Amino acid sequence: MSVDFRKLKSFVKVVDAGSVSRAAGLLRTAQPAQPALSQQIAALESHFKHKLLLRSNHGIVPTEAGLILYRHAQLLLKQIEQAQIDIDQSNKALAGRVSIGLATYSASSTLSLPILKEMSTLHPQIIVHINDSFGHVLSELIMTGRMDMAMIYGSGPIKGVKLQPLFREELFLVSPAGPGAKKPADEPLPLSALANVKLLLPSQGHFLRRLIDESLARARVAPNVVSEIESVSALGAAVTEGLGSTILPASVAASASSFGGVEVRRLVRPAIEATVSLCISDHLPLSEPALATRSVLLTVVEKLMRSHPQGIRSV
């Protein structure tokens, strides 16, 4: 039995879908029946002499051997896809598809438009997919080859990826503007002053929420969280309606239209800071379009740093 790309593609689809029946639907054009897909998986297991998939209460999951094959299959399939694109575009401009993840509630999310504009000018044949949605661990998408690169919070080691620190951003208290403020908006506010402030924050699984909770704990403040919101527009609307305050990078409040008219105040003792890093796979090479996109992304970040935005500094 030879391992062909059709079997590898089917295997990857089954892992992604978590189900043979869903994978059969996703492979539309080939329309493989479920028994045919199962036979292809069985052939791969026979060839590699390892069990590759396990059935669980949550569907189908890869074994350790299956996860290794999944990563290699992702690489091979991406190389074949890019080879076809390179051949088709050999006499044309650089082309392909590149996916970029941007950490939610981060200054990186404000860079999506500058990146798209620069790519449109320099590489109009490259299709850029931007993902800044909640509910995804971007480093996992990078590690498994489902995304090319991402700007994420953190600088420490993460298995399967490489991190290149880009900048540090400070978090600010973002509150409804009003004449009843006890202190001028330009006067820093100690974290201890947040003891009785109604807070609208991301859910506890978000990096920023963990960072905020840890900082408040060091200041011996029990946060008064009245709502957990995972939508920038909804959060901005809630703050402007006076439902509470939030803690965000100043650039997010400045760039989102839903935060119009809010008061942004620096937090101190201690200040809350987070590192934003470029995340790429440590085992899957970037395609030529992805390399070009990474270059554009770094250029956009460099321009951002030269503008000296509020609350952002070099690493």
- 178: which 2 tokens? 């009003």
Beta-sheet pairing, 273-281 with 149-153: antiparallel
What pLDDT is recorded for position 6?
Answer: 86
What pLDDT is recorded for position 291?
Answer: 94
Amino acid residing at 237 = A
Amino acid residing at 29 = T
Other C-beta atoms within 10 Å of 177: how many?
14
What pLDDT is recorded for position 109?
Answer: 80
* Whole-number Cα distances in Å, 270 to 217, 221, 315: 11, 12, 18
Closest CA to 280 of 145, 110, 119: 145
Closest CA to 155 of 167, 143, 145, 147: 167
How many Å apart are CA 315 and CA 306, to the nearest integer? 14
Tokens 């951003």 correspond to what residue?
169
How many Å apart are CA 10 and CA 52, to the nearest integer? 13
How many Å apart are CA 263 and CA 184, to the nearest integer? 10
Closest CA to 247 of 205, 207, 303, 277: 207
Question: Please, are residues 56 and 63 in contact by the beta-carbon 8 Å criterion?
Answer: no
What does 26-70 look like in DSSP terms, one character per residue?
HTTTT---HHHHHHHHHHHHHHHTS--EEEETTEEEE-HHHHHHH
CA atoms within 13 A on the CB side of 142: 27
What does 13-34 look like in DSSP terms, one character per residue?
HHHHHTSHHHHHHHTTTT---H
Its sign, for the CA torsion 19, 20, 24, 25, is negative
In order of start, what are the domains of the chain with their CATH numbers? 5-89 (1.10.10.10), 94-314 (3.40.190.290)
Strands (E), 192-305: 198-201, 224-228, 246-249, 263-268, 273-281
Q: Which helix (H) or strand (E) holds 222?
A: none
Q: How many residues does the chain have?
A: 315
pLDDT tens string for the chain (315 positions)?
566 888 888 888 888 888 888 888 777 644 446 778 888 888 888 889 999 999 877 788 889 998 999 999 988 888 888 888 777 766 667 889 999 999 888 888 889 999 999 999 999 999 999 988 665 688 889 998 899 999 999 888 888 999 999 999 999 999 998 654 445 557 899 999 999 899 999 988 888 899 999 999 999 999 999 999 988 889 999 999 999 999 998 888 887 777 888 899 999 988 999 999 999 999 999 998 999 999 999 999 999 999 888 889 998
Closest CA to 82 of 257, 292, 315: 292
What pLDDT is recorded for position 212?
Answer: 94
What pLDDT is recorded for position 180?
Answer: 44
How many Å apart are CA 52 and CA 182, to the nearest integer? 63
Backbone angles phi, psi at 52, to 5 degrees: -105, -30
What pLDDT is recorded for position 56?
Answer: 78
Coil, helix or strand at residue 313:
strand
